[in-house]
Amino acid sequence: MLTMEDIVREGHPVLREVANEVPLPPSEEDQKTLENMLQFIKNSQDDQIAEEYNLRPGVGLAAPQINVSKRMLAVHFVDFDDKQYSYGLINPKIVSHSVEKTYLTSGEGCLSVDRDVPGYVPRYARITVKGTDLDGNEVKLRLRGFAAIVFQHEIDHLNGIMFYDHINKDNPFKEPENATPADE
Ligand code: SB7
Ligand code: NI
């Protein structure tokens, strides 16, 4: 089982690498890694398990965060419209996105960042993501709002990008151009 000790923190070079494509169909090892990542995220949201193992709650995890430089991500969350998203995705790719942007008024955090980094993180308001799921099926997801934000945060990790790279350095709370908040 994965715990916080498996999570690499900022400063670790793997978080700045462009992760490698995963050969398809996935090896049993890659599949197992992704299943473990999804289980970690679920565990982190279970009060009892999280307390017992000292897990910080998270809505998603990208493989580089466990020092695996491969294009895999896991997400598990309920969006503001009560829709449940639970996926392990291999080689996820944003195939199209809106011009319009969005952001969370409370900013973002990261399991690999042990400090608060305040500021708006501009994200595309709508994205279409293609990838391969845990069963080896091709999936195409149309995402908006919080779901779109979470997937962009995770896909950024596969490209060596941290959420705070997107924050305006002079004015962290400057309203991003062409944006409406996702959580208002
Ligand atoms: C706020 C938090 C996350 C995504 C978008 C907004 C994910 C936090 C957990 N992670 O560090 C996953 O990479
Ligand atoms: Ni993160």
Q: What is the pLDDT of residues 26-81, one digit of tens each?
A: 999 999 999 999 999 999 999 999 999 999 999 999 999 999 999 999 999 999 88
Query: Residue 132: pLDDT band by 50, 70, 90 thresholds?
Result: very high
Question: Into which CATH architecture does domain 4-181 fall?
Answer: Alpha-Beta Complex (3.90)
pLDDT score of 81: 86
Say if residue 76 carries a ligand binding annotation. no
Rounded Cα distance, 31 and 156, in Å = 21
Does residue 60 line the site of ligand 1, with CB under 6 A?
A: yes
Point out which residues pair with 142 in neighbouring strands.
128
Q: Domain extents for the chain?
A: 4-181
Does residue 125 line the site of ligand 1, with CB under 6 A?
A: no
Determine the longest span between alpha carbons in the chain, in angstroms. 47
Residue type, 164: Y
Beta strands 84-97 and 101-103, pairing class? unpaired
Token representation of residue 160: 């060596």
Contacts of 79 (CB under 8 A, 6+ apart): 85, 145, 146, 147
Q: How far is the CA of 43 from the centre of ligand 1 (A)?
A: 15
Sign for the pseudo-dihedral over CA of 184, 120, 154, 114 = negative
Say if residue 166 carries a ligand binding annotation. no
Does residue 64 line the site of ligand 1, with CB under 6 A?
A: no
Q: How far is the CA of 1 from the centre of ligand 1 (A)?
A: 20
